[in-house]
Structure 1
């Protein structure tokens, strides 16, 4: 099972904060560093202010050497698909091919209001997401020197230069997630390299995976081609004082974290990861909320990672 580190910078983080966590992630032996793509905090004041996901990932592309980098997830409402395809392709080139992109329909209305971003109803958001996926993957798969067209109602594209990112390295992986019963599995089966079920218990995660596998079979796509992943908050403490200190630092109750996240001793966390593995999870994003506690990453790497090999 791959373990990746997943952060929420909109809760308050500078680029230097993210760089410190990304380098600690790399040094500790984790597979990847991911960040959310939000402009507004969910609680508190979000100090020291918002950061842009793809701007910071571009910096990390040059300031790290091994780990993969990406978003869980970029909102289709935030950016036009053509420029977004170019941005992500640029970051992929800057990183030496270490970039992945999660893309979703968008959900947090307040940040759209705060920054003047249109926020259509959920049906239109999914319509736009589907078109964005078609445009972005189309541009990436079109060889350099050729052009790409898309006859869409929201994003018509005419004679756009191909970005040619789908070469020998396999291209830029696309991650789609969510609990939608119809359109989400269909979009994952059609466009995704990975399906992510975030913040769900193991049993429900297994049900979401089953829907996506069925959607793949409907499209005559081998479900094995799709990586199945989960995401949840992590809080490791191999003694009670450490566990309670780390829970308090993120304003969470220990019992609630044990019930809903990956929390407790290393053995407890490994047992819970095992329950997710049993329903098909092969990759887990550990949501790290206290970006100042770099020892947390070292502790996970020293006591959890060895048990997964």
Structure 2
């Protein structure tokens, strides 16, 4: 082989190696994204609907028509006070609550931003067994994400532990934003385990999500299911779930488990485990 031919040969080998290396790198990045996308999207969507429930819970607990309380209602500064109201001034049910955040984007009590309107229809007083709350969303955004679909929360009364428990249903849920398109339907069992005895301080309220099953599609269109295997902790002092585990199946991927942790630490991280591979999933911090 002549020197010229040898040089051409070395150039071709080098080029193939570089292309292979770049391809492997891109494949690795892409695969990790695929591995964690459904986990991230599910966690984000569940958080947003859980947050909508928290906002209505805060209002209902401080309202004399929806709850037999003597405290004075204190509206969040980010709500439009002119258009946030109940549909009547007497306790004749159903009553409809309009939480209107407007379009100005004022920070709320938790430094989050909300826009548009959450409408919640109450079939009875909030704490009464059998009361059904039906949520709809009109132009509603949680930080940078548009929210649509329906949420239903049914008060099942007091359980054997003396705690109120609820059925929590997401129907035709849709979360959209830049490179985000999450479809979600799910049913959960919520149990109010702490904070119910303090009427004024809502930040100490804690719900445990004992069970739940979700099906949906992630932002790339892949279908997934997620089933809670160890109860989630929804502590109102933290925007994300503190603890809990679930089993997730994603279209064309190996089954995995999701773990929010066990130490009651408030962060936006969960761990996705597939066989003996552990991947850290960062739930977006939702600021505009």
TM above 0.5: no
Larger Rg, first or second structure (1 or 2): 2
Structure 1 or 2: larger strand share?
Answer: 2
Structure 1 or 2: larger helix share?
Answer: 1
Q: How does the TM-score come out when normalised to structure 1?
A: 0.29
Larger relative contact order, structure 1 or 2 (CA cutoff 8 Å, min sep 6):
1
